[in-house]
Amino acid sequence: MRNLLFAAVLLMSGAAHAALLSTTVTATGTYSNPLGLVNDGFIPPETTPWASATNVFWSDGGNNTVRFVFDLGADFLVRDILVSVDNNDTYRAQYSTDASNWTDLFVIPSAGGEISPIQGGLDTLTSEAASLEYLPAMDFAGQIARYISFEAIGGDSSYALAELQIFGDELPVDRPVPAPGTALLLAAGLAAMRFSRQRRGALSPAAHITRAPRFQKNLLPNCLLSPSTQITMVSSGSSTVSRMRR
């Protein structure tokens, strides 16, 4: 059923842009600045220093103890992710439907974006191929997930995350899906019923007869009628013709 839902959403979404999804976030480890900065919708300018008031930043001596988990509140088809991170470190994103079993989504290599190590500071990166900030290393096939985790896994032990945004689509409500054989039989039965109905309509004379209105004598002046005049009403298709015979 989950695979069918996934395929249905892909067909419905087509090439349309995915929606920005609302998240709540939790984190482990020790870091500086309010946690809410990472999903408040604000993306600082690139090259902003890593230890700025706009970022959550941390230094853990390479122990990789800080990990962020973004909760979508329900399963979604996750299609793209945008991040603003310190540019000279390596980061990993994973996804899960239960917050227990995790699968890698992508790894951002150190200095993988447009901001060079010489420039330093924050770099904005996204998996959206149409964006100027697109990073091929972040590209991934759409995945059904409720949770996205994000953590540093390498670099100079001084890290920063200023923003993480998740884009995707809602999943359709679960509905019973008939087996392929049942669906084919149902379609054939409907087609046969439609053909039979059309055939009965073509063969039935009543289907093509329009009842003529009741003839009213006062439609013709009395002076035009004589006792020997006989009026015949002839119905042809949707029209009625009056014939007078003397």
Query: Per-residue pLDDT tens for 211-243?
Result: 444 444 444 444 344 444 444 444 444 444 444
- State the pLDDT at residue 79: 98
Separation CA 163–CA 97 (nearest Å): 22
Q: What is the DSSP letter of 107?
A: E
In sequence order, the 6+-apart residues with CB closer than 8 A to the CB of 158 are: 50, 51, 57, 58, 59, 86, 89
What is the band of 130 on the pLDDT scale with cuts at 50, 70, 90? Answer: very high
- State the pLDDT at residue 93: 98
Cα separations in angstroms, 241 against 72, 215, 235, 244:
73, 11, 6, 10
- State the pLDDT at residue 180: 53
Q: What is the DSSP letter of 187?
A: H
- State the pLDDT at residue 143: 98
* 3-class state of residue 179 by DSSP: coil
Residue 64 · residue 90 · CB < 8 Å: no
Q: What average pLDDT does this structure show over 151-157?
A: 94
Whole-model pTM?
0.67
- State the pLDDT at residue 192: 58
Q: What average pLDDT does this structure show over 73-92?
A: 97
138's tokens:
């972040």
Say if residue 18 is exposed, middle or buried (CB neighbours under 10 Å; 0-12, 13-18, 19+). Answer: middle
Cα separations in angstroms, 3 against 34, 37, 100, 143, 168:
38, 35, 21, 11, 16
| CB neighbourhood size of 9 (10 A) | 19
Say what percent of the chain tops pLDDT 90.
Answer: 59
- Which residues are paired to 235 by β-bridges? 240
CA-only gyration radius of the chain, Å: 36
- State the pLDDT at residue 191: 58
